[in-house]
Amino acid sequence: MEHNRIIEFAYAKVNLSLDVLGVLENGYHEVEMILQEIDLADDIILEPLESGIELHCDVDYLPLDASNLAWRAADLVLKETGLDKGVRITIVKRIPVAAGLAGGSADAAAVIRGLNRLYDLNLDLETQQRIGLSLGADVPFCITGGCAVARGIGEKLEPLVGFGSHWVVLAKPNIGVSTPAVYQRYDQTVIEERPDTPALIQAIRTDQMRYVAEHMVNVLEPVTTQMHPIVGKIRNQLIQYGSDGAMMSGSGPTVFGFFRQYDRAMKACKNLKKTYAQVYLARTTNRAL
Last residue of a domain, one of 160, 178, 198: 160
Residue 288 confidence (pLDDT)? 55
Q: What pLDDT is stored for residue 289 in this prediction?
A: 44
Residue 288 in any domain: the answer is no
141 and 184 co-located in one domain: no
User: Does residue 109 sit in the same domain as residue 60?
Assistant: yes
Based on the domain organization, do 79 and 138 belong to the same domain? Answer: yes
Give me the CATH number covering residue 81.
3.30.230.10
CATH number where 194 lies? 3.30.70.890
Cα dist from 7 to 42, 61, 90, whole Å:
10, 22, 9
Give the number of domains in the chain: 2
Tens digit of each residue's pLDDT (9 = 90 or more) over 238-264: 999 999 999 999 999 999 999 999 999
Assigned domain for 126 exists: yes
Same domain, 19 and 153: yes
Q: What is the span of the domain harbouring residue 91? A: 6-160
Indicate which residue of 19, 42, 107, 138 is catalytic: 138
Q: What percent of the chain has pLDDT over 70?
A: 99
| Helix 262-273 × helix 230-240 angle, to 10° | 140
Does residue 235 share a domain with residue 148?
A: no
All residue ranges of the chain with pLDDT < 70 are 1, 288-289
Shared-domain flag, residues 149 and 27? yes
CB neighbourhood size of 46 (10 A)? 24
Q: Are residues 181 and 255 in the same domain?
A: yes
Please tell me the predicted confidence (pLDDT) of residue 287: 72
| Residue 138 annotated among the catalytic residues of the structure | yes
**Domain final position from 132, 160, 188:** 160
Rounded-to-10 torsion of CA 76, 78, 81, 83: -170
Is residue 32 assigned to a domain?
yes
Domain termination site, one of 115, 136, 160: 160
- The reply to whether 273 belongs to the active site is no
Query: Do both 115 and 174 map to the same domain?
Result: no
279-283-285-286 Cα dihedral, nearest 10 degrees: 150
Closest CA to 254 of 175, 176, 172: 172
Single out the catalytic residue among 13, 19, 107, 244.
13
CB 130 within 8 A of CB 9: no
180 and 145 housed in the same domain: no
Q: Domain for residue 215, yes or no?
A: yes
Determine the pLDDT at residue 26.
Answer: 86
Q: Is residue 144 part of a domain?
A: yes
pTM for the whole thing?
Answer: 0.95
